[in-house]
């Protein structure tokens, strides 16, 4: 019976690769834990009790720990517009707050821009993105 429980554990852990959410892996780990009393010759009810107890503990505690760690790492990852503040760009059309015009190239993208301090920034100047305001970048001239 012990080999069957180990095989079940391996199959469940492999199945986790195809199912999202970190659910099945806990049943596989619990099967490994339940295989210990099975190999020691414990009665089937003891093996079943150990298995269900291990599942209960692993699912409630283990899944919470793993999902919190993954979501914490995902929150640190800045993508799209959130990744722009702090990046440097080049003015490709004078940024003039009076006319409300100006274009800045950041990476491979061209954005409309306004200045943080209300001053003009000439073409070919290097700027730093302070924040994104709607569809425009708020920039400041890079100090040299």
Residue 103: pLDDT above 80? yes
Alpha carbon dihedral 107, 108, 113, 118, in 10-degree steps, equals 30
Are 60 and 52 within 8 A, CB to CB? Answer: no
Are 31 and 9 within 8 A, CB to CB? Answer: yes
- Residue 72 has what pLDDT? 67
- H/E run at residue 133: strand 126-133
Mind listing the pLDDT tens digit for each residue in 59-73? Answer: 888 878 887 777 766
Give the separation between CA 135 and CA 75, rounded to whole angstroms.
23
The mean pLDDT value of the chain amounts to 88
Give which of 137, 50, 52, 133 is closest to 89, Cα–Cα.
137
Task: Domains for the chain: give ranges and CATH numbers.
Answer: 2-76 (no CATH), 81-141 (2.40.50.140)
Mind listing the pLDDT tens digit for each residue in 4-24? Answer: 888 989 999 999 889 877 789
- Residue 22 has what pLDDT? 77
CB count, 10 Å around CB of 82? Answer: 9
């Amino acid at each position: 019976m012990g080999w069957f429980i180990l095989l079940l554990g391996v199959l469940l852990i492999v199945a986790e690769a195809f199912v999202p959410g970190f659910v099945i892996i806990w049943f596989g780990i619990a099967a490994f834990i339940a295989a210990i009393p099975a190999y020691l010759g414990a009665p089937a009810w003891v093996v079943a009790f150990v298995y269900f107890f291990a599942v209960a503990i692993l699912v409630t505690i283990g899944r919470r720990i793993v999902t919190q760690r993954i979501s914490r790492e995902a929150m640190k990852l800045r993508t799209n517009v959130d990744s722009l503040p702090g990046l440097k760009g080049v003015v490709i059309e004078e940024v003039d707050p009076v006319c409300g015009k100006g274009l800045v190239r950041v990476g491979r993208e061209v954005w409309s821009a306004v200045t943080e301090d209300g001053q003009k920034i000439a073409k070919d100047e290097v700027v730093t993105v302070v924040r994104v305001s709607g569809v425009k970048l708020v920039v400041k001239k890079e100090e040299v």
